[in-house]
Structure 1
Amino acid sequence: MSNPPNGARHAQGMATRRAVLGDAHVDRAEAATTEFDAPFQDLITEAAWSHVWSRPDITARERSMITIALLAALGHDEEVAMHVRATANTGATRQDIREALLHVAIYAGVPAANRAIRIARKTFAEMDAQAAQT
């Protein structure tokens, strides 16, 4: 038996998730949610987006930098790209991301940073192309 979402916590998490990732991304994720993975979606909405991302102690920009560095260090390529795209909403600049990835090179290894830099470059190019079309 799964736990139902906590109303206020879920609402706060969903608002933060939408603010960071954008409505289109969250709408796609919600539309793709199945009975099997609905508890996981509730977990990340409440734990990551409400408990962590909604905290007031650091900015969304700083959270972006930390998150991208951690995801890069762990080799979570799809998540790196998703959070690089989210920088359009968090205020983290390309220079911020470059600096975070330099830290990855030193503290988690050059191969991890090299891979993440390639992902960031590709993602930024896609973002630029999309912006040029609008």
Structure 2
Amino acid sequence: MTEAAVDRLSQGMKTRRAVLSDAHVERSEAGKTELDAPFQVLITEAAWGHVWSRPNWSKRERSMVTIALLAGLGHYEEMAMHIRATARTGATEEDVREALLHVAIYAGVPAANHAFKIAKQVYAEMGQGESA
């Protein structure tokens, strides 16, 4: 692994922990196997060490875009994880609502409808929001 890759991996782990929480990352790391270890390195390096660590957008902005993309693509489990992460990124329930309204227009009402359902469940679990 090159020095730059090691730096991206280190920065990625730092950013991943800041956004998703130490507990989440520890669970993920504990569950990795020989099969998915290279994938874990890839996402930590590329997603967290490169994209999420760039200075141009705040964690809040990245959080909203990520939630909207995951909802629009129908990746609701990942979307729920990123809604939980808003406690650390600064994205508010209102931010998430606005992102999901965009999903309704640009990715379709059914995708947004299900995303709102999941978001309400996640906020209820977190003990906040209208649904709590």
**How do 1:18-29 residues align onto structure 2 when only pairs under 5 Å count?**
18-29=17-28
What one-letter code is carried by the residue in structure 2 that aligns with 1:114? Answer: N
Counterpart for residue 39 of structure 2 = 40
Counterpart for residue 98 of structure 2 = 99
Structure 2: distance between partners of 1:40 and 1:53: 17
Unaligned runs of 5+ in 2: none
Counterpart for residue 83 of structure 2 = 84
SS in 2 for 1:39: helix
SS in 2 for 1:58: coil
Counterpart for residue 74 of structure 1 = 73
Counterpart for residue 10 of structure 1 = 9
Structure 1: distance between partners of 2:2 and 2:82: 27
Counterpart for residue 65 of structure 1 = 64
Unaligned runs of 5+ in 1: 130-134
What one-letter code is carried by the residue in structure 2 that aligns with 1:37? Answer: D
Counterpart for residue 118 of structure 2 = 119
Structure 2: distance between partners of 1:61 and 1:67: 10
SS in 1 for 2:127: helix
Q: CA deviation at 1:71?
A: 0.1
Counterpart for residue 132 of structure 1 = none
* Deviation beyond 3 Å, 4+ runs, structure 1: none
Q: CA deviation at 1:40?
A: 0.2
Identity of aligned residues (%): 69
User: What's the TM-score once normalised by structure 2's chain length?
Assistant: 0.93
Counterpart for residue 55 of structure 1 = 54
Q: CA deviation at 1:4?
A: 8.5
Q: CA deviation at 1:96?
A: 0.1
What per-residue deviation string (whole Å, max 9, x for no partner) do you get for residues 93-126 of structure 1?
0000000000000000000000000011000000
Instruction: Pick which of 100-109 and 3-12 moved more.
Output: 3-12
Q: CA deviation at 1:7?
A: 1.6
